[in-house]
Structure 1
Amino acid sequence: MSETDGPDPAHRRPEGLDDATVEALGKLSEALEVIENARGFLYGFHRMTGQADLALGEAVALFRDAGHEEIADRLETELVGRNVLEGRWTFQIVEEFDDGYWAAFREAERRARDELAEGRRHLFEAEMKEDRRTHGRRHHEALPDDRSTPDREAPGSR
């Protein structure tokens, strides 16, 4: 397989790496991708909760301006700045997730790749691409053509 005929060297399985191990590494990578997606939802939750708290503060001011002091006071004391979970605002939840579960998951995935596949990522997907693409057909190339990606420098161009 030539350099332009298939995956780049970083996406080729090391000598002697068996199909079962590539499949297992692929499934581990898939699991990590789900965790990355969950992390994105967690950050979305963090931002939306903060946005809601700020809007709530504005609603309190509007209720005051409209002469509804009792409702404004109740909203301000019961909800504005309230913890989302016991003792925590969402930034604390995000930090705990990032420093704990997410960091451990990423490290476990990286360590398995380092131990079994010389640190190479996405071997399963790279091989799937080779199986599924139509070799020799435009838009089915193994690698990007440096001329088609203006934001990439050609090797040795610096």
Structure 2
Amino acid sequence: MAESMTRGLIWSKSVSRWNVRAFKPAPRRALTRFYNGCFKPLGLTAEQFSLLVGIGAAHGASVVDLATSAGVDAATLSRGVQALQRRGLVQGEGGRGRAGKRLSLPLSGLSLMTDALPVWERAKASLSHRLSEATLLATRQAMRDLADAAAKAGRGPPHPGHHAR
């Protein structure tokens, strides 16, 4: 189980670098459709995959904790969590409401996340393969620059491993 949690943390950091929300609306929709198509055989959407990874990495986090770390609205995230709970893929224990209830993955959620990780890896590799190395490097640099600009404006933490100029 500890190995699964460690793996979840590693995947969570990797998934966050490819966060669909980081793109403009039209490309974001296309990217979401692409990932949704990849996850469809597992009965999962890209958003649900992200939630499973986030909950698996932050075992015991609340909906508010997850929403804050992902930079999304807690009410929207809560609806996604509730859908996963109805399927028995997420458990909520303890307090009440979005800030009190602590989330975790039962074996069924952990198993689905584990099955979905290689699907996500293949999908990510497929996208990377279709882009030139120069485009990938430029995109990654643009994302780091955007994160740095937001941090300097007081809207988020600086990107790890990227030094201020």
Tell me, yes or no, whether TM beats 0.5. no
| TM-score (normalizing by structure 1) | 0.28
Give the number of the structure whose residues are more often helix, by fraction: 2
| TM-score (normalizing by structure 2) | 0.27
Q: Which structure has the greater CA radius of gyration?
A: 1
